[in-house]
Amino acid sequence: LFAPVELAPRDPILGLTEQFNADTRTQKVNLGVGVYGDENGRLPLLQAVQQAEARLLATPRPRGYQPIDGAPAYNKAAQALLLGSDHAAITEGRAVTVQTLGGTGALKIGADFLRQWLPQADVVISNPSWENHRAIFERAGFNVGTYPYYDADSHGLDFEGMVKHLESLPAGTIVVLHACCHNPTGVDPTPEQWQRIAAVVQSRGLLPFIDMAYQGFGDGLQEDAATVRLFAGLGINVVISSSFSKSFSLYGERVGALTLLTTSADESARVLSQLKRTIRTNYSNPPTHGSAIVSTVLNTPELAQLWEQELAQMRNRIRDMRGQLVSKLAALGVQQDFSFILSQRGMFSYSGLSPEQVARLCNEFGIYAVGTGRICVSALNPNNLDYVAQSVAQVYKT
């Protein structure tokens, strides 16, 4: 019966890690997958997380089923982090948040919900976007198109192209937006550009689906929430997927949230009841441990403060690596101007490396990047930076 099953292609990014792990060279660097490594290249276990776990261990709890929509204290804290705890959408009962299996789970539950209730709608994602965006929405049954986003010539945003395209979309189109730290390019709209994007979304009656996987990695926790709050201030329906995978370095715990902004408390109750049905028919209810950690941190002021400091360290370290990479490449005499890497935000940079250059970096130097030229800047550290810069310089010069 399974004879017709075809071999699926490997995930282009996670597949790179498999290739990297199998590489026997001693000098190798994985700039592929979007995971934060500390200054020693190691995945950090945050102090705030360790302390929260110590507290949880000190008062062990039985592990019953969670509510279908997850832990209330977790959902409330996740919502407050996005909107600010005193936002009108919250006080007026217009914000519905459910715990999800990471940001991916939030996208999936959101996509399934929208497909059921807005079956006529199409979805558009940025060109380029995180590959899983297309896959998730297509799997949910949507037609997925793209809107112009990245301008290769300027290494920046094709803002006019983006706005013009959004203006042409039929009302009800679902527009997937990256709240900050765009994956894969690192290019974000400016606050002024966001204003205009929001105005078009509102006037055209589009549905913004804002994906926030990197809150705190751009300019700060509050600063990075500005996009979400801008859209929330419009009083229209908004869908937000958020993730703590990166910001808490809790990739394997699968902690995320899906937040829907509605137009009334009554609508919220109906929306929540349907979201619970979507969750129930997928995995019944979410797991306990990861959300207990995040909830403990966010609801304990001294741990929340510690976490913010640790998040700032991660953010600043990435920025420092951006600066050092740019200056080292210049010092090595590379003619190409890489200063655009400095204005990009978050873990990633569309480096401008061609597929051939990426292949050379891999074959000759054991440096793995995504074929599109995306590099994970947070995988750079003082031990590999010189090697990476020298290798890139070599590839540019010869």
Residue whose token pair is 């950690």: 293
Considering only 29, 30, 34, 291, the residue that binds ligand TYF (CB under 6 A) is 34
Give residue 263's identity as a one-letter amino acid code: T
Q: How many amino acids of this chain bind ligand TYF (CB under 6 A)?
A: 8
Q: Per the residue annotation, which of 69, 188, 211, 224 is the catalytic one?
A: 211
Residue 246 annotated as catalytic: yes
130 binds ligand PLP (CB under 6 A): yes
- 171-190 residues in contact with ligand TYF (CB under 6 A) are 183
Q: Give Cβ neighbours of residue 156 (< 8 Å, ≥ 6 apart).
A: 150, 187, 340, 343
Q: What is the DSSP letter of 64?
A: -
Choices 99-107, 319-327, 349-357, 378-386; region in contact with ligand PLP by CB under 6 A? 99-107
Q: Closest approach of Cβ 235 to ligand PLP, in Å?
A: 26
* Residue 218 near ligand TYF by CB under 6 A: no
Question: Using CA atoms, how far apart are residues 256 and 361, in angstroms rounded to an integer?
Answer: 34
Quick check: 104 binds ligand PLP (CB under 6 A)? yes
216 binds ligand PLP (CB under 6 A): no
Cα distance between residue 200 and residue 266, in whole Å:
27
* Count of residues of this chain found to bind ligand PLP when the rule CB under 6 A is applied: 12
- Cis peptide bond upstream of 301, omega within 30: no
Q: Is 132 in the site for ligand TYF (CB under 6 A)?
A: yes
Q: Which of 69, 112, 130, 158 is catalytic?
A: 130
- In angstroms, rounded to a whole number, what is the distance separating the alpha carbons of residues 358 and 362? 6
Please count the CA atoms within 13 angstroms of the CA of 138 that sit on its side-chain side: 9
Tell me: does residue 211 bind ligand PLP (CB under 6 A).
yes
Residue written as token pair 């996740």: 78
State the Cα–Cα distance between residues 76 and 149, nearest whole angstrom. Answer: 33
Residue 243 corresponds to which tokens in the numbers above? 């993730």
| Interface with ligand TYF (CB under 6 A) | 11, 13-14, 33-34, 130, 132, 183
Binding residues for ligand PLP (CB under 6 A): 34, 102-104, 130, 178, 183, 211, 213, 243, 245, 256
The set of catalytic residues is 130, 211, 246
